[in-house]
Every structure is written in structure tokens, then in C-alpha cells.
Chains A and B, each alone.
Chain A
Amino acid sequence: MAKIPLSIYIHVPFCRRRCVYCDFLSFSGMEWLIESYVAALLADIAEHSAEFRDYEVITIFFGGGTPSLLKSEHFEAILREIRTNFHLSQSCPISMEANPETVDEAYLLNLRNLGMSRISFGVQSFSNKNLKTLGRLHRADTAINAVKSASNAGFEDINADLIFALPNQSLADFEKDLDAALELPITHISCYALTVEEGTPLADSPLAAALPDEAADRAMYALAKQKLAAAGFAHYEISNWARAGFECRHNLGYWTGRQYLGLGLGASSYFGNRRLKKTDDLKAYIGGNFNLVLLEELSPQAQMSEFVMLGLRLTSGISIADFQTRFGQNIFDIFGQTLNKFLAEGLLQQNTNKITLTEKGIDLSNMIFSEFLE
């Protein structure tokens, strides 16, 4: 019997320092707990093996926090435990996030030898001033060296994260960041507009008042689209660009309804039409609380809504045929009124079997997605 495809996400909730804009689950100054955390993680992995006997793991992703704070020995132990407890596909890509200042070539070489196939660097900007403002611990040249080291170590699939619409950032400033990124041996770029999340230091800082306005923000986004396309990076998701064949397979799963198991502190899972989450209490997790707490059970209607709201994030959009196959219904019978409204307004477009966001539709995508919710 064919196995069900599954992605595994592993969370590493440690950072040397929290960035001012970050609202992810991570702790700074707790690195002394890494050993016990990894031990707990190994137990967490083993605990779920029985449940996923009929699944085949087709991607693995280490996210954070700062996964590169783990030693290569930790990765070795974790990957061994995963391979022992789960079926991995032949070509399962293993991807990790890394901060530039935490890696050197020897470390990267070790990771590569363990089977790590993709590395994603939190570059964010090549302006030292901006890096400092954001609370990053690296400088522009640190990031450049890190990417080059990864390439030297044999990584063919390298991502650089950039953030735009930073406090006091001009279009010319951002253009320099794009140019600098395009100098590097990378295959993938994520460009995120800075989002001021409630409760972060940035939200309460005077910097929040120095953010570029909407027009400037959209000009930067347009510039990214234009320059990255010219450099041979295809825009495949709202914030993601890749050279052909280097789209992040793990992340593609999130937008196409693939099931995933999240291991580690506060990690989210999605399988059996349920969204679940692990405890975000670090002490409890290390103490052996690996329960998956149910967040929501998706009704058929909710599944259809998600199909649209996540699928439209991809520039390839949603397929009318896929909808029909998955839900046994025509998408226009379910969402006809909403689809037609946005098609008429030029926020969506249809090419026979595919429905995609237009450029303007991307800019107003929340407004569009919200209309597809129940």
C-alpha cells in the first residue's frame, strides 16, 4: 500500500539574542538547556513512531529559534532517531535554518556529511546599521562568508532571508540588499516585508514610527519581483523566490495541504484533518510532556477554505481539477460568488484550470482570503 506523504518539522527554541521584531517561540540565555532539550527531542521522536507507520517522510525541516546553535552531534543523534522511527523517502530533503554568526566551514561540512541538503540563512539585510537596529548579532560580511562557506562545504541549495520595509530604509537601501544577495551562490531567496507583531520590542519602540509607508513598502516589493526575476529567480510564493527546481519542498507542503508532524517545543502538526500543537512550556517539554493538543478539527468547509487561502499564496495558484479531486465538488459551486467577485475586480485571474492572485491581489490577499472563510 502506498504510504501517506508526511513532513517533519523540528523546532529549536534557542537564540543567543532575540531580534526586536521576532514573535516566534524562542529563548535567549537558555543555551545551557540545549543538551537536555535534545534528549527530550529524541524521546519525542520515538514516542510518535507507532502513529506514523503508514506515512512516508518526504521532507524534514529544522526551524527556530536558531537551529545552528545545536552541535553537529545533536543533528546526528536527531536524524538517527528519525531514521530509526520513521520511513524516509529516498530523496527526502533535510533543511535547516541558521544564523550567519553561528557557523563555520567545518561545522557546515559536518552537517553536509550528515545528509543536511539545504540551509537557510537569516541574512535579513546587508546594511550593518539595519542589522544592528534589528538586534541581529552578525554583520554583512559575516553573512557573506557564511553563505560562501556553506557553498564550499558542498551545499547546493542555499537560501537567504531578506527583510524589507525596515525602519528608515529607502528603496535604494533595499536595492543594495538585493544586489548583494544576488552576488552570492544562493538558489533561493525569501523576502519578507517587516511585520510589526504585537508584544515585540519593535512594537513599543520609536522605530515603529519610522517604518516606510505602504507605497514605499510596495515599491520595494515590486523591486524585489523585478530584480529577482531578472536574475533567474522565479516568484513562486508571496514571499519566496527560487531558481528552477530549488523551491523549498518542505514549505510547499504547507500551502498544498500536505500533512506534517511538528516535534519539539510548541511545534504545530497537521494530520487527520486536525491541527495540533505541543506545549510551549520549556520545562514541561524537557520533563517529558510531548502531548499533541488539539487546536482545531477541520470540517470539510474549513478544509476547502484552507485549500484556497493557502493555495493562493503560490503563484501557481489553485487548480480547479485538484479541488474537484480532493473534495468531489466544483470549486465554483462552493465559492462561485466570491471567486467571480474577485475575478471581476481584477484581484484574481483564471487560466482554464488555474486560479491565481493578480499582482494587486497579492497586495490585498488577506482581504481576499478572509472572504473564503466560513
Chain B
Amino acid sequence: MDNIRNFSIIAHIDHGKSTLADRLIQSSGLLTEREMQDQVLDSMDLERERGITIKAQAVRLVYKAADGREYVLNLIDTPGHVDFNYEVSRSLAACEGAVLVVDAAQGVEAQTLANVYLAIDQGLEIVPVINKIDLPAADPPRVIKQVEDIIGIVAEDAPLISAKTGLNIADVFEKIIADVPAPGGDPGATLRALIFDSLFDQYKGVIVFVRVFDGSLKKGQKIRFVGSAKDYEVIEAGFLSPGNFIPTGELRAGDVGYFTASIKNVRDTLPGDTVTLAANPTDKPFPGYKKATPMVFSSIFPADRSKYQDLREALDKLVLNDASLFFEPTTSMALGFGFNCGFLGLLHLEIIQERLEREYDLDLVCTAPSVIYKIYTTDGAMAEISNPADFPDPAKILKMEEPMVRAEIMLPSEYIGQIMEICQNRRGIYISLDYIDDRAKLVYEMPLNEIIYDFFDALKSRSRGYASFDYELTGYKESTLVKLDIYLNKEIVDALSFIVHKDSAMERGRKIVEKLKKEVPRHQFEIPIQAAIGSKFVARETVRALRKDVTAKCYGGDITRKKKLLERQKEGKKRMRQVGSVELPQSAFMSVLKLDDD
């Protein structure tokens, strides 16, 4: 056990975590050059495209150290984005140490700090590594001092590396072996293992990723999941190498690996749960992880009503890999049966929606994202609401509060003016502006509900794609909110209602009805599209009645072609949603989520 080291890597979003992981895997000789793909740890397409890591996974590295001994290093990957704080905490609990990667030019970022403190709280040894020392702007002494000042750990002997070029990678291995403690635990005790992740495989059932703390987990054993109180027989157990599983039949105390047990029900293996022996359960189960709190909500409906069950199954499977995803059934007059979903943040929401569409081939209609508002009513009660349908009668509202974030925007300095304007328009409060080389870091305090619509799109379009942003929740502030309702042909469309600041309500209502006017197909009758705050209409557009839809000529040679046109017309109609008396394409629901600023 003393030749094992279990560690994670903590880094800011583009400080080079994946590159370092690749480099470690490559240097440990587990893989040939040919097998090396870019960022081998990121197995999902989606992650590769975004260049970030979402699903925690682990990989076993075998390294021959300077002392001549072979060490087993289990690298447990963690997501770098603040949305996935919860997944980070799960992964960290399976480790004894964490490598902190800091960019030699940019230094420590606020986002990183949160994860570092999380690791320190869990008693992990922090191994600082200064990356990108090959960059012209690199200033290792300054960054080392910063790490020591801010985090309060010794960093003077931190490896100075370039993950990109492979410079000084051996130093990282040696430092991990020297500083990260070997796992403790009692090999002779009864089994006690921690689930830090899991995957659903259609052939093997659930593949459970564990860190064994005490005892051993063997093929053929009857094991128990403490939290779900379900027993299973282990079918296969082994180690994780990049891209494949290496069955060994056993995992011992200190090991990180996987097992399968023909588990069909994904809810039986919730990450954070304890695995022990059914015949001799441990009396020291893990506390489980603190349940993550969703910050952003959106209701998701299948575009095709008959796909409700498919959507449920897809969410059931996603939640296996993502315990932070929250969902509950909901119904909408306009959209039928669906799910009200809670997400850790915007990126999380987008990723889930994309995974549902890509991996489960579902066409979705999603409602405008919402956040949790605190509403104090005259009867002395406080309600936390996210669904506009739950917005109380304004006459009974005493006080309202909305969540605020600290938004950090990195951008080339020439776009500062435009980007500041976007932030001001969204009720942002300026905090600071700093320059790092030719880039600027703009910090604003902003209401969360102002960044969940199309803030990111606006940033990208105003900066030619160069601005990036991140945010963290800072707390609640008093605010004046109203519920904005959209009426289509005099009938309210529940799925289009949302909660918005009083000052933005009229403007947003106007934009939405304008947008909808382009989306609502003409009907036999005139359709007014209105936005209302309470009983007061604040915007209106009208879709004129369709007066003519007729083929003038239909003779022998025209029939097949005209019929094809009519079939297309019918197909288009099939994809429409009947909302009261009006047929609405699903794009109408999506269009109101993207309201351009100008």
C-alpha cells in the first residue's frame, strides 16, 4: 500500500490541467505514443469540443521513481468549472493529495481558490505546480509568492513545468511521491469503499468507480450499498487505464478502480455512497456528500409529446453520472408533460440539454432559465421560488430578493467599452478592471437572472468571440421583481412566463413579442401577441390572418410535385405545438431565450 498515491488535479479553467494529465499518462508509459489522443481523460465528445472536463474519471499510472521503486499513482480527474463544485468534492474525498496547477503568467484565480480550500478542508496535501513557464509572460517567482501568500502553503520548491512541451514532468511525479501520503486504511478489516463516480453501460450495467479504504473488494463477493441498502454480487473488478478497463478480480485497500455487479437500477449506486460486504457491513460508512444546491432552473419538455417516457429514462441515466442534476415531473398547458430541472449553473444546463439531444436523440423544448428568488409575503412567510407559476399575488409581496454573482470577464482590452455596456444594461455593478498583458479582467456584481438568458451570446458577439466569463454566487440582494406573462390570441402561455426585474420587464416583453411575431405562423384568424405584467399589457404585436393558401394550377403534370409541397406543409404542422387555439413551432419557445441586445 505504501507505493500507492491517490491524487487529483486542481486548476483554473485554462491553466492546463488536461494537458498535464495527458503528459503524466504519457510519461508513465502506460500508453504508447500512438494511443495518445489529445486530452485522453476527457472521454465525452462534448467535453472535447468545449475543452473542459465534466465527468470525473480515474486512471492508474505506473511510474518508476528516482529511488528505483515502482509506484502506482491513481489520478482522479475533477471538473474545473465552478458549476461542478459538487463533483469536485466527490473526487477529492477519494484522494490523499491534490496537484494545484497554476499558470506561470496569470497566477492564482479566484475560481481555483474555491477548489483548493475544498481540498484543504478534506485534509488533502496540496502539491503546487507552476505551469506554462515557457510562455514569454511567465513570472514563476511572482506566482510562487502569490501561491504562498494567498493559499498559505509552501511553494518555493514547486516544480516549474511546461505541460505542453513536457518540460520537467518527472519533477511532478517525484513531488507527488514525496509529498502525498500513501493511503492509510486497514487491509484486514471489512470492506469499506467510496463511490466517486459511475457510468451506465448497456452490456455490463452500472460501472461503479470506487476508492477502497479498508478491506478488499473481490469478484464473487456479495456487497451492499449502504445508502440504497441494496445487495449485489460483484461480477468484475479491476483497474482503470485510459480508455479501457483492466479486470484484475480484486481491489485492495488504497486502490482506485471499478467494479460491475449487473446493476440495472441507476439509483442504487449514488456517488458518495459506501460499498461494504453484505455479510459483514462496516460500522464506519462515509457520511455521503453534501447535496448540491441547484442554482438555475429550466423545464424541459420533449418536442414530441409521445417521447415523455424516453426523456424520463434519459434523465434517469444522466443522473447516475451526475448526482447534482435535479429533476421532477411537471406539466404545462402549452407543452404537456415534462420535467422541471435544476442545474448547478448555466454550463451545466447547456451540457445536460446537449447530452439529452445528442446521446439520447431527443428533441427538446426548454423554458427560459430561472433562478431561485426569495419572496417574503405579508403573512410573514418566505418562499423560495424558481417557477414563474409559483409567483405570488404582487399585492401580498412584502419584499423580494434575488441571487447575485461576481462575474469575471476576460477579454482583449479593445472590447472593454462594449462589454461594460452589456454589463450595465444588465444591472451590473462595476467592481474592478485589471490588465494582464494585453488582456483585461473585468469584474462586475450582477444579478444571476441577468446572465442566464443570453449574456454569454452577447459577450461573444460583442467581442468577436474573444471574451470568456465565469461567475460565482455571492448571495442575495433585495430587488423588485415582476412576473411577465405572454398572451397568444388572448390566452396565457404558461411556458413563456418568467420573472424579471421591474425595470427590464417592459423592454423584455417588447422584444419577446417582436421575436414571437416572426415565429408564429399565420392562422385563419388574426393572432394578437401580448406581454403583460399582471393585468397590464405592456407590448403587443399582431400576426395577420392567413387569407390565401391556394394552388392556382393543378393539372396532370403538377400533381406529384404539388402533393410533395402539401406533404411538407403537413410535416411542418406536425412539429407544431397546439397552444390553445394557436399552433406554435418549437423554435418559438427557443427564440425567446435568445434576445439580442440591440
Contacts and interface: CB of A to CB of B under 8 A. Distances in A.
B171 interface: no
Given A238-B552, A254-B559, A270-B556, A373 B567 contact: yes
Interface stretch (B190-198, B271-279, B463-471, B541-549): B541-549
A156 B549 CA distance: 35
B559 A345 contact: no
Contacts of B554: 238, 254-255, 310, 313
A370 B573 contact: yes
A251 B557 CA distance: 11
B556 A366 contact: no
B563 A366 contact: no
Given A254-B559, A268-B560, A306-B559, A371 B570 contact: yes
Interface string B513-557: 000000000001000000000000000000000111111111111
B8 to A, nearest CB: 58
11 contacts: A9-B556, A195-B552, A214-B547, A239-B553, A254-B555, A267-B557, A268-B560, A364-B524, A365-B549, A367-B546, A370-B566
Interface in B548-598: 548-557, 559-560, 563, 565-567, 569-570, 573
A141 to B, nearest CB: 26
Contacts of A218: 547-548
A170 to B, nearest CB: 18
Contacts of A236: none
A178 interface: no
A122 interface: no
Contacts of A238: 550-552, 554
Given A9-B556, A193-B552, A309 B547 contact: no
A296 B548 contact: no
Given A214-B547, A218-B548, A366 B553 contact: no
Contacts of B573: 370
Nearest to B555: A254
A363 B547 contact: yes
Contacts of B555: 63, 251, 254
B559 A275 contact: yes
A254 B558 CA distance: 10
Q: Give the one of A195, A214, A218, A362 with max B CB within 10 A.
A: A214
Given A239-B553, A345-B524, A373-B567, A310 B559 contact: yes
B549 A215 contact: no
A370 B569 contact: yes
Interface of chain A: mostly helix, strand, loop or mixed: mixed
Contacts of B557: 9, 262, 266-268, 277
Contacts of B563: 306, 309, 373
Contacts of A193: 548, 550, 552
- Which A-B residue pairs are the 4 nearest by beta carbons? A370-B566, A192-B552, A268-B557, A370-B570
Contacts of A295: 560
A215 B522 CA distance: 14
A254 B567 contact: no
Contacts of A310: 554, 559
Contacts of B548: 193, 214, 217-218, 363-364
A369 interface: yes
Nearest to B572: A370
Given A371-B570, A373-B570, A366 B550 contact: yes
Nearest to B549: A366
Given A370-B573, A373-B566, A373-B567, A268 B550 contact: no
A247 to B, nearest CB: 14
B572 to A, nearest CB: 9
B560 A369 contact: no
A268 B559 contact: yes
B566 A309 contact: yes
Interface in A223-269: 238-239, 251, 254-255, 260, 262, 266-268
B560 A275 contact: yes
Nearest to A371: B570
Contacts of B570: 370-371, 373
A365 B550 contact: yes
How many chain A residues sit at the interface, stated as a range, is 35 or more
A195 B524 CA distance: 21
A364 B549 CA distance: 5
Contacts of A195: 551-553
- In this complex, the member of A214, A295, A369 whose beta carbon has the largest number of chain B beta carbons within 10 angstroms is A369
Contact of B553 (A192, A267, A367, A371): A192
B28 to A, nearest CB: 61
Given A218-B548, A239-B553, A366 B560 contact: no
Given A218-B547, A270-B556, 19 more contacts: A9-B556, A192-B552, A193-B552, A195-B551, A195-B553, A217-B548, A218-B548, A238-B554, A239-B552, A254-B555, A254-B556, A267-B557, A268-B560, A365-B549, A365-B551, A366-B549, A370-B569, A371-B570, A373-B563
Given A309-B566, A373-B566, A373-B570, A364 B550 contact: yes
Contacts of A217: 548
A371 B572 CA distance: 11
Nearest to A161: B553
B550 A363 contact: yes
A364 B560 contact: no
Contacts of A251: 555
Nearest to A195: B552
Given A309-B563, A309-B566, A345-B524, A364 B556 contact: no
B437 to A, nearest CB: 51
B550 A262 contact: no
A277 B559 CA distance: 12
B566 A369 contact: yes
A363 B565 CA distance: 17
Contacts of A313: 554
Nearest to A305: B563
A345 B565 CA distance: 23
A54 to B, nearest CB: 20
A215 B554 CA distance: 23
Contacts of A239: 552-553
A224 to B, nearest CB: 12
Nearest to B546: A364
Contacts of B569: 366-367, 370
A359 B178 CA distance: 89
A369 B564 CA distance: 12
A369 B190 CA distance: 73
B346 to A, nearest CB: 40
Given A295-B560, A370-B569, A371-B570, A362 B550 contact: yes
Nearest to A346: B524
A373 B563 CA distance: 8
Contact of A363 (B549, B553, B559, B566): B549
Interface string A178-195: 000000000000001101
B551 A366 contact: yes
Contacts of A192: 552-553
A250 B553 CA distance: 14
Interface in A67-89: none
A255 B554 CA distance: 9
